[in-house]
Amino acid sequence: MVTRARPFTHSERGTAESRWRERPEWADLRPADALLSGHGRLVVVAAHPDDETLATGGLMSIAARAGLEVTVVLLSDGEASHPGSPTVSSRDLATLRVEESRAALARLAPSATLERLGLPDGRLAACTAETVTGLVDVIGERGGDTVVVAPWRHDGHADHDAAGRAAGVACRRTDAVLWEYPLWLWHWCQPEHAPWADLHALTLDADVQATKQEAVALHRTQVAPVSDEPGDEAVLHEDMLAHFARPFEVFLRLDLPTDDSLDELHDSSSDPWQVRTSWYEQRKRAVTLAALPHERYGRALEVGGSVGALAEDLATRCDRLVVVDESGAAVEAARSSLRGLDHVEVVPGSVPEDWPDGPFDLVVVSEVGYFLSPARLGRLVTRVDASLADDGALVLCHWRHPVRGWPLDGLRVHELWTRSSALPVVATHLERDFRLDVMSRSSAHRAGSP
C-alpha cells in the first residue's frame, strides 16, 4: 500500500533512482506494450507543460510512429513553477512553458496537436467540472477509438491527482480507455511501498529513448535555471530527471472513478432543474402526456426520473409505473413526492446496466439520453427494444440546445436512437427548445387508435 507521511517539495532530493533500480519487483511488471492496441488515437493529459514529455514522451513517439493521431491537452500553462522569480513574470513563464511543450511535442510526434485549457496552475482541484468538460470536448464521440493517458490519481501532487480523477470521469462519459502515469511518485515514495501490483512497463527502444531525452531537454525553464538569481533555480534536478531516463515508461490501468456529478446536483438542490416552477418544464410534461398514443397503459417505465415530476403525471395514465434513477438523492426526492401512489415504484439503478424486468407497455426517456456515453446509449436502445411489449410505445424527449460536459446533445441522442432502434418513429414534435419522438412497432399507434 502506498503511504506518504508528509508533503513533498520539488527541491527535496527525493528517492534516488538507484534505489528504484535495485528493486526485484521490476522483473514481474506486466508489459504495457498493448496499451495502444486497437485504438487510432492517443490523448495525453498533462497538468503542467513537461508532465507529458517526462512521463509519456516515449509512448507518444511510439504512437506517432505507429500512425496514431496524438493529442496533448495541457490543463494549465504552468505559470506557477517559479513563484519567486525576480526575472520572469508568471504570464511570460506560461508563454515560455507552452512553447517548450510545443517544441518537445514536435520532436516526439511531429503531426500531433496541442490543446490548452488555460486552467490555473496549482488550483486544478477547484476546476474539476471545467477539466472534465474540456477533456470531453477533446475526446468527443471518438471515445471508442481513443486511449487517454493522464496523471495517476494518487501521484501526491494536488494538480496531478485532480487531473487524473477528471480524466477518469471524462473517459466514463465518452467510452475512452484510461491509463494513468505516475510522475512525482518516484520522488516521494519509498520503493518498498510502491503499487507494484498495478504497474505496467512500456519498453522503449534506443531510438525512442534518445528522442525522448532530446524532447525533455527542450523544457529549458524546468531542467535548467531561468537565471542565476535566487528564485530562478531549475525545478527538475538531476536526481528527479533520472527517473525519466529509463528504457521504459510506467503506467497503471485502474477502474474508472465514479461520476457523481448528477448526485451532487440533486444533493445541492431540492429541484435542480426547476421542474416544479419552470414553464418550459411544465409545458414539456403536458406535451409529453398529450403525445402518448393510448389513454391508458398497463405497465410503464420512466428512465431517469429525477425528483419525480414527470412520474407524477405519468402515474395518472398507467396501472403500474417503475421509475429508475442512478442518483440516490433523486430517488429519495422522487419517493417523497410520489408517496401515497401505491402503483408507482421508484428504484435506484444505473441504466442500461441495472434494468427492471419487463415487458413494458410504455417506456419514457426524457432529458436523460445525453447523460449517457455513446456506447451506453446504444445499449439502452437495445434494452428498450427488447423490453417493450409488441404493442408498446417509447417516448423520447430532449432539450435541443448545447449540453456541456457530455459528448452528446439532445438532437444527437434522437439521431443515434432512431438510426439504431428497430422501432419506427410514429410521431414527432419539434420546436425551438425540445424534440419529442414517439416510436412503436404497433400499427395501432401509427393509426392513432385509442
pLDDT tens-digit readout, 150-175: 999 999 999 999 999 999 999 999 99
Residues 6+ apart with CB under 8 A from 189: 2, 4, 15, 156
The confidence band for 450, taking pLDDT boundaries of 50, 70 and 90, is: very low
**273 has a pLDDT exceeding 80:** no
For 24-47, give the DSSP string. GGGGGPEE-TTTTTT-SEEEEEES
Residue 303, classed as helix, strand or coil, is strand
**268 has a pLDDT exceeding 90:** no
The confidence band for 449, taking pLDDT boundaries of 50, 70 and 90, is: very low
Closest CA to 32 of 54, 10, 56, 15: 56
Cα 390-392-396 angle, rounded to 5 deg? 135
Which grid coordinates are listed for 243? 527517473
pLDDT of residue 425: 97
pLDDT of residue 448: 47
The confidence band for 5, taking pLDDT boundaries of 50, 70 and 90, is: very low
Please tell me whether the peptide bond between 230 and the residue prior to it is cis, using omega within 30 degrees of 0. no
Q: Read off the pLDDT of residues 113-149 as tens digits, 9 standing for 90 and up.
A: 999 999 999 999 999 999 999 999 999 999 999 999 9
Q: List residues bridging with 250 in a β-sheet.
A: 201
**447 has a pLDDT exceeding 50:** no
Domain residue ranges of the chain, discontinuous segments joined by +: 17-252, 262-446
Q: List residues bridging with 434 in a β-sheet.
A: 399
What separation in angstroms does the CA of 212 have from each of 248, 274, 450?
11, 53, 70
**442 has a pLDDT exceeding 70:** yes
Q: Read off the pLDDT of residues 391-408 as tens digits, 9 standing for 90 and up.
A: 999 999 999 999 999 999
How far apart CA 129 and CA 292 sit, in angstroms, is 37
Give me the sheet containing 146-151, strands edge to edge. 30-31, 199-203, 248-252, 177-181, 146-151, 41-46, 69-76, 113-119
What separation in angstroms does the CA of 80 have from each of 73, 239, 352?
18, 22, 44
**7 has a pLDDT exceeding 90:** no
pLDDT of residue 12: 77
Structural domain 17-252, CATH architecture: 3-Layer(aba) Sandwich (3.40)
Structural domain 262-446, CATH architecture: 3-Layer(aba) Sandwich (3.40)
How far apart CA 91 and CA 79 sit, in angstroms, is 6
> What long-range pairs does 27-32 form, CB within 8 A, spacing at least 24?
28/196, 29/196, 29/199, 29/200, 29/201, 29/250, 30/199, 30/200, 30/201, 31/200, 31/201, 31/202, 31/203, 32/179, 32/200, 32/201, 32/202, 32/249, 32/250, 32/251
Q: Decide whether 17-252 matches 262-446 in CATH topology.
A: yes
What separation in angstroms does the CA of 73 have from each of 107, 181, 196, 203?
17, 15, 28, 24
pTM: 0.94
How far apart CA 64 and CA 58 sit, in angstroms, is 10
